[in-house]
Structure 1
Amino acid sequence: MSSHLTFFVEEQSMEAFLRAVLPRLLPDSVHFEIFTFQGKRDLIEKLPKRLRGLAPTLAANSRIVILVDRDDDDCRQLKSELNEIAVQAGLKVRNVGSTDWQVVNRIVIEELEAWYFGDWDAVREAFPRVSANVPRQQQYRDSDGIAGGTWEALERLLKKAGYFAAGVAKIELARKIGQRFQPDRCKSPSFRCFREVVLEAVVGSQ
């Protein structure tokens, strides 16, 4: 039996990344669609209406995955807010030990670029001139804990290697790295949580 996953993401770069990565993560029997918003606030503001529209007709083999950046928000508070929106829409939210959930909220810590640092080999395959030693440098060892912003850190490293002198194109970057990204290889804890719940969604909806 085929499964269906619906992803809500806050920006086009995440959509580009997922479209490159998900076909390698999901079985062929799983179909997916991605809805993109104009930032996190836009997603949160429009989410209640979107979920209320989906709730009455959501099939038993369908799951919804909501993916947002933490940025500077409190992770628990942000997740609680998203969970409450889903509950108010009449949907079952994933909790520890539950198997019949319909919606799961996942927080990217702190933003998509942390996942790139988690699979630095993919970055180097896309941009061979960047240093291979980056993951061994203290400030980059914890991909989800890079101080000063992961986007800013990645931009500095790419420009230092001679790429994107006029400014980094985030969607192009997401597509190039996503095409080389290996889900099993990524060390980012937040990506691993995302991968785990996506695979759980597939198993639970079949």
Structure 2
Amino acid sequence: PSMEAFLAEMLPRLLAGRATYTIHAHQGKSDLLKKLGDRLRAYAKWLPESSRIVVVIDRDNSDCFALKEKMEQLAKEANLLTRKTSANGNWRVVNRLAIEELEAWFFGEWKAVCTSFPKVSSTIPAQAPYRNPDAVTGGTWEALERVLGNAGYFPGGLRKLELAVAIGKHFDPMSATSPSFLTFRDALVESVS
């Protein structure tokens, strides 16, 4: 749900009217993976050839390569060409991972965090633990909760949905630095080019 809320805020700016889209949220990674094969097979039967399917999931503690391969295999079983396997750019599905999770993307666009939560230090990205947003250790949402909590926000615990909406409103996809966000962004831009 927090990814859905974030995308609902950020995608209109990134896509700038170049495409229509629908976001389908799931109840976490296990729910998405359980339903993905059936959903892709259904899409293969009725979506127009010009449609693109972008699947994004938190890596959490999963092995990147194994998780991505599972997603690729589900698309293959649905007879949908993926961006990874397409030689000519005629793909229908692209699979992307948020590494480690959505909150890493927020560490990679710190200006949006500071705009949403003005008491947060603007120097966080310069600190060693946060320089590479996709390599924040100890859980990115927990790290973000600590940073925001130290600035006086979310004293009762991080409210991920509220956070995603607030940051999504200010998130500049062209200024982001999270490598996993950049691969996600670039695939979306390619899909509407």
For 2:14, the aligned partner's letter is L
Gaps of 5+ in 1: 1-11
Q: Deviations 1:139-168 (Å, cap 9, x if unpaired)?
A: 110100011111000000111100111111
Aligned counterpart for 2:37 among listed residues 18, 41, 48: 48
Structure 1 residues 151 and 75, CA gap change in structure 2 (3 angstroms): same
Structure 1 residues 163 and 145, CA gap change in structure 2 (3 angstroms): same
Equivalenced residues, count: 192
For 1:169, the aligned partner's letter is R
Identify the residue that residue 176 of structure 1 maps to in structure 2: 166
For 1:85, the aligned partner's letter is L
For 1:14, the aligned partner's letter is M
Matches within 5 A, 1:149-188: 149-188=139-178
Identify the residue that residue 127 of structure 2 maps to in structure 1: 137
CA distance in 2, matches of 1:199, 1:25: 8
Identify the residue that residue 18 of structure 1 maps to in structure 2: 7
Matched, 1:105 2:95: yes
SS in 1 for 2:115: helix
Deviation at 1:184, TM superposition (A): 0.6
Question: Structure 2 length normalisation: TM-score?
Answer: 0.97
Q: Deviations 1:98-138 (Å, cap 9, x if unpaired)?
A: 31100010011100000000010100000000111101101
For 1:119, the aligned partner's letter is E
Q: Deviations 1:31-81 (Å, cap 9, x if unpaired)?
A: 000111111011000111111111012212210000001111111111000
When the two chains are superposed, the root-mean-square deviation of aligned CA atoms in Å is 1.0
SS in 1 for 2:16: coil
Identify the residue that residue 61 of structure 1 maps to in structure 2: 50
SS in 2 for 1:174: helix
**More strand as a share of residues:** 1
More moved, 19-28 vs 93-102:
93-102
Question: Structure 1 length normalisation: TM-score?
Answer: 0.91
Gaps of 5+ in 2: none
Matched, 1:148 2:152: no
SS in 1 for 2:138: coil
CA distance in 2, matches of 1:88, 1:162: 49
For 2:10, the aligned partner's letter is V
Matched, 1:38 2:4: no
Matched, 1:29 2:49: no
Identity %: 50
Deviation at 1:97, TM superposition (A): 4.4
